[in-house]
Amino acid sequence: MVINMTNRLLVIVIVFALTSGIVAHAATAPQRAIAPITLPTASSLPMAIQTAASRISETATGAIDPFAAIRDAYQRDHVALEHLRQSASELKGSAHPAFNQLILDDESKLTEIERTALATTRPSVSTSIAAMDAVVTSAQTELDHELSQPGASKSEGHGAQSQNGGPSEKSHGNDH
């Protein structure tokens, strides 16, 4: 019973915080609309929920403290690049060091985007976060492409899975 009451209280607090953030956003920047959230397929639902929650949080935080929202997005995307670097350990031959170099370059891009955004007096939160997210999406696309190549990964099973269910079949409009 106590847990049930705690969960209800938590829901009320979250709804209040989100509503306050949206109202603050509307009051401070009526010309900038809040970006709609689109959820991907059900197969990636946990990641979709995480992404949606992250975007809602960033929108609310961005309305109150745009600098904190940009720093949070930078941290999230920096961690995402590190996870991609770890996933790339399955690459064979020169593809692994090449991907590590790509990640280093992308980390530099993230840092530059963050510094540029934080150097302005009124940063465009949505534009800065979208630019940082695009860097991570590009790296993910490159890793998916590398892993889909025949014989690219160290484990035979993973390579075959990438070929059969790779990014070309699961594309969400990020074809390059």
Do 86 and 10 have their domain in common? Answer: no
DSSP secondary structure of 8-28: HHHHHHHHHHHHHHHHHHHHH
pTM for the full predicted model: 0.58
Do 13 and 99 have their domain in common? Answer: no
Q: Please give the residue range of the domain that contains residue 5.
A: 1-30
Mean pLDDT of the chain: 75
Do 77 and 120 have their domain in common? Answer: yes
Residues 8-52: tens digit of each pLDDT: 777 787 777 777 777 776 666 655 555 555 545 544 456 667 667
> Quick count: other Cβ atoms within 10 Å of Cβ 14?
13
Do 1 and 58 have their domain in common? Answer: no
Assigned domain for 37 exists:
no
Do 90 and 21 have their domain in common? Answer: no
Residues 148-176: tens digit of each pLDDT: 887 766 664 444 444 444 443 334 444 44
Do 53 and 111 have their domain in common? Answer: yes
pLDDT at residue 114 tops 70: yes
Q: Rounded to whole angstroms, how far apart are CA atoms 14 and 107?
A: 32
Do 53 and 124 have their domain in common? Answer: yes
Do 53 and 108 have their domain in common? Answer: yes
Token pair in block for residue 49: 């929920």
Do 103 and 146 have their domain in common? Answer: yes
Residues 6+ apart with CB under 8 A from 68: 61
Do 51 and 19 have their domain in common? Answer: no
The number of distinct structural domains making up the chain is 2
Do 23 and 76 have their domain in common? Answer: no
Alpha helices by DSSP H, listed for the chain, are 2-28, 45-64, 66-87, 95-118, 125-148, 156-164
Do 25 and 50 have their domain in common? Answer: no
Q: Is 100 helix (H, G, I), strand (E, B) or coil?
A: helix
DSSP secondary structure of 137-156: HHHHHHHHHHHHSTT-BSSH
